[in-house]
Amino acid sequence: MLHIRIFLFCFFSLNVFSYVPVAKTPAPSRKVILQLTVEAAKNLRQSKYDKSLSTARVALQYAIDRNDDYLIAKSYNTIAANYEELAEVDKAIFYYKKGLFHADKTDNDTIKNSLNNNLGNAYCFGLNNMDEGLSYYKKSLNYSYKISDTIGIYITKVNITWAYFYKDKFNEGKPYLDFITKHQNEYHGNGTILAVNMLNGMFFTRKLEFDKAESFFIKAIKSGKEAGDKSDLPYAYEEYAKLLKKKGDFKKAYENLVLYNLVKKELEDVDKLNRANVVGVNIELDEYKRKVDAIESEKNLQSISIQKSRIIVALFVIALTVVLLLLYSVYKNYKFKKEKNEELTIANNDLSAAKEKAEEASYLKSQFVSTISHELRTPLYGVIGITNMLLEEHKELVNSPHLGSLKFSARYLLSLVNDVLQINKIEENRIILESLTFNVADEINMIKNSLSFIAKSHNNSIALTIDPAIPEYLIGDKLRFSQILINLVSNALKFTQDGVVNINATLIKVEDRIHFVEFSIKDTGVGIAEEDQEKIFDTFVQIGRKEIDYQGTGLGLSIVKRLLTLFNSTISLKSKLGQGATFTFTIAFDWDPIKTKKLINNIEVDLSEAQVFRVLVIDDNSINQIVTRKIIEKNNFACRVVDSGFLALKILENEEFDIVLMDINMPVMNGFETTRRIRKNGIITPIIALTAFDKEEVLEEALSAGMNDVIIKPFASELLVRTMNQLIFKETEIPVS
């Protein structure tokens, strides 16, 4: 199958070359670039992937300099075909789609035909996605018929036949098999003779006409040996062995499987060598991809700037007129305002008094929410931890509905506490967006995976569509973006049964380095009545959807709307009862290629060892002591527990530990003061604060006291272990206060 797909790519490349007129201009001329693409295709056919990629990269650079969409598409086609043969299917599809994007800007149907055919191959045989692959094959056939390309029609139908048989859909593939068998003699020289004979053998094997099938397999194997290229020969041996097994000739079947393995091993050894040669070229191509994106962005920016300059002139005239009108209005109202000044002064004094009372009430509310959240998180840490311990120590209780209900209720209560705290922080304007470099596609995929349990419970599926034009890495507040997406997707899953939730990300415009990405979450659920669509974004509001009872606090969409305000964005909703709902919003992300390069080069190294580390736990809550000790000892750490800061100071005078876990809210001497005294004694052991307070409330004081990090209870055991390992192995000097 690899040989047929290489041949198909090279056929289309040469065929496209014959359709394009050559410009006689100085080097690098269009003729030179076209010759480079033909050379790259030739190297690909000879499995010289490193040379093929290098040549295609040069051709792509020249094509972009000329702003020639056809040459850009052709170069991307070659690059993608190389990655497909190296089994890097995702990269191949990415570059095929890049090429198709530029091909659609041209009038050349042959290059469109080639790219659609290659995408069909990648989806059918690379990703095993039959439906997507067939859609591209059908587009390829339409272009072949349009330009009367009979060889292209024949080759695409060979692919479709193979794809159907590959999925065991022989009835669907039979009409295509009849066509290629009928026209085989007309195109016997195009390298498909082995494939056509093998496909006939597979068909007659399925019909239990073993003699006919065997004759076709023998012809296929013979033609593969005579051709000298063994790329497709293993598949003929494999299918022939299946036939012999059905006939009961197990000895001969075994012999053919041995031949299959020998040829396959020979081909794989060659492939490994080619992969080693292409490693360096991969890095250059990735860097060049980013350069291409920058050039395309600059082009769009120049176009937008021209339009803006015209608008600015018009706005200047309008603004000047408005200013003159305002000056006249100010003059006319001057006397009126003077008379009202005294009334306003009195009103301002009243407002100031009211403002002070409101601020005092707001502060008290904030303190109340913070205290309540702390008091709830502390026992919840114990409840969740003890529940996990019971499930780990008593395997017979894994399926217990009572423990399952207890664990669910505790996590549900924790989610409610976090939502209330989030609303309070937004209302107090205590959230400041961060600027971190992250992979948007990876973040969306992680959210999809984390919500899979909700999808399964409602028998739903989640589909992703991410625009390939979106850069791999963007800069923004990753945490707030994830909160928005998680709330919307989980909400869609809860109100959908036996359906699909679609997550779409589309790049809608680029201004300088700012990339505006539009996200839409569409479900096939129960929908929302038009009169209720404004209410659902209010705090603690839940709209009853028919007679179905849904759990929730009514905070999710309110949090989404308020977080989007921080991004200077809004959210829109389209929905009808019984027809699902679609939520849409746009976020502007920054893009910095220098930061992206540093992030890619910063590879995290696994520092874990077999060494047992000693951990000192300081916590006055006995239940929390049990839970924390269990987590630590389960991960092969040695643990010592004390219930006060005074005992901790005494122990640290005589014993050494690798890390200290410090509770903050302790009687007599809290965690901050204990840490200050530890640092004053010259002890530089890493200290992690384990607290039920919100991280933003205590982080600044924790760091100033000498703590290294803060983890909020309840927490995932993986987070604690990972943070401990990072601090133990991190060679950092802690200043002594």
Q: What is the dihedral of CA 537, 542, 548, 552, to 10 degrees?
A: 100
The verdict on 509 and 596 lying in the same domain is yes
Residues with Cβ within 8 Å of 412's Cβ and at least 6 positions away in sequence, in order, are 551
Question: Is 65 part of a structural domain of the chain?
Answer: no
Q: What average pLDDT does the chain have?
A: 80
The verdict on 517 and 562 lying in the same domain is yes
Which CATH number covers residue 718?
A: 3.40.50.2300
Question: Is 156 part of a structural domain of the chain?
Answer: no
Sequence-distant contacts of 642-646: CB under 8 A, at least 24 apart? 642/616, 642/617, 642/618, 643/618, 643/619, 644/618, 644/620, 644/668, 644/669, 645/618, 645/669, 645/670, 645/671, 645/673, 645/674, 645/677
Domain end (from 283, 301, 331): 283
Domain end (from 232, 263, 283): 283
DSSP state of 607: -
DSSP state of 638: E
Domain end (from 283, 305, 339): 283
Between helix 401-427 and helix 250-393 the angle, nearest 10°, is 70
Cβ burial 456-488 (10 Å sphere, 16+ → b, else e): eeeebebeeebeebbbbbbbbbbebbbbbbebb
The verdict on 715 and 633 lying in the same domain is yes
The verdict on 625 and 659 lying in the same domain is yes
- 3-state SS string for 510-551: EECCEEEEEEEEEECCCCCCHHHCCHHHCCCCCCCCCCCCCC
Question: Is 183 part of a structural domain of the chain?
Answer: no
- Domain that includes residue 477, residue range: 436-601
The whole-number pLDDT of residue 192 equals 80
pLDDT band at 509 (very low <50, low <70, confident <90, very high): very high
Question: Is 185 part of a structural domain of the chain?
Answer: no
- Is it the case that residue 606 has pLDDT exceeding 50? no
Residue carrying structure tokens 């921080």: 566
Q: How far are the Cα atoms of 260, 413, 670, 700 from residue 377, in angstroms, in the given order?
A: 62, 9, 18, 21
Helix or strand holding residue 262 (H, E): helix 250-393
Give residue-wise pLDDT tens across range 340-379. 887 888 888 878 777 777 566 555 555 555 566 556 666 7
The verdict on 423 and 440 lying in the same domain is no
Question: Is 621 part of a structural domain of the chain?
Answer: yes
Give residue-wise pLDDT tens across range 640-676. 999 999 999 999 999 999 999 999 988 889 999 999 9
The verdict on 624 and 476 lying in the same domain is no
The verdict on 237 and 356 lying in the same domain is no
Helix or strand holding residue 714 (H, E): none
- C-alpha 582/C-alpha 503 separation (Å) is 10
More confident site: 693 or 318: 318
- C-alpha 243/C-alpha 213 separation (Å) is 8
Q: Quick one: average pLDDT of 125-152? A: 87
Which CATH number covers residue 509?
A: 3.30.565.10
Question: Is 637 part of a structural domain of the chain?
Answer: yes
Rounded to 5 degrees, what are φ and ψ at 44?
-65, -45
Rounded to 5 degrees, what are φ and ψ at 440?
-60, -45
- C-alpha 35/C-alpha 33 separation (Å) is 5
Q: Quick one: average pLDDT of 243-247? A: 89
For the sheet with 581-589, list strands across it: 461-466, 500-511, 514-523, 581-589, 571-575
Question: Is 5 part of a structural domain of the chain?
Answer: no
The size of the chain, in residues, is 737
The verdict on 454 and 409 lying in the same domain is no
Determine the residue type at 289.
Answer: K
The verdict on 493 and 507 lying in the same domain is yes
Which CATH number covers residue 200?
A: 1.25.40.10
- C-alpha 292/C-alpha 299 separation (Å) is 11
Which CATH number covers residue 382?
A: 1.10.287
Give residue-wise pLDDT tens across range 388-399. 666 566 656 656
Determine the residue type at 567.
Answer: F
Question: Is 93 part of a structural domain of the chain?
Answer: no
Domain count, the chain: 4
- Is it the case that residue 550 has pLDDT exceeding 50? no
The verdict on 554 and 656 lying in the same domain is no
The verdict on 577 and 640 lying in the same domain is no
The verdict on 547 and 622 lying in the same domain is no
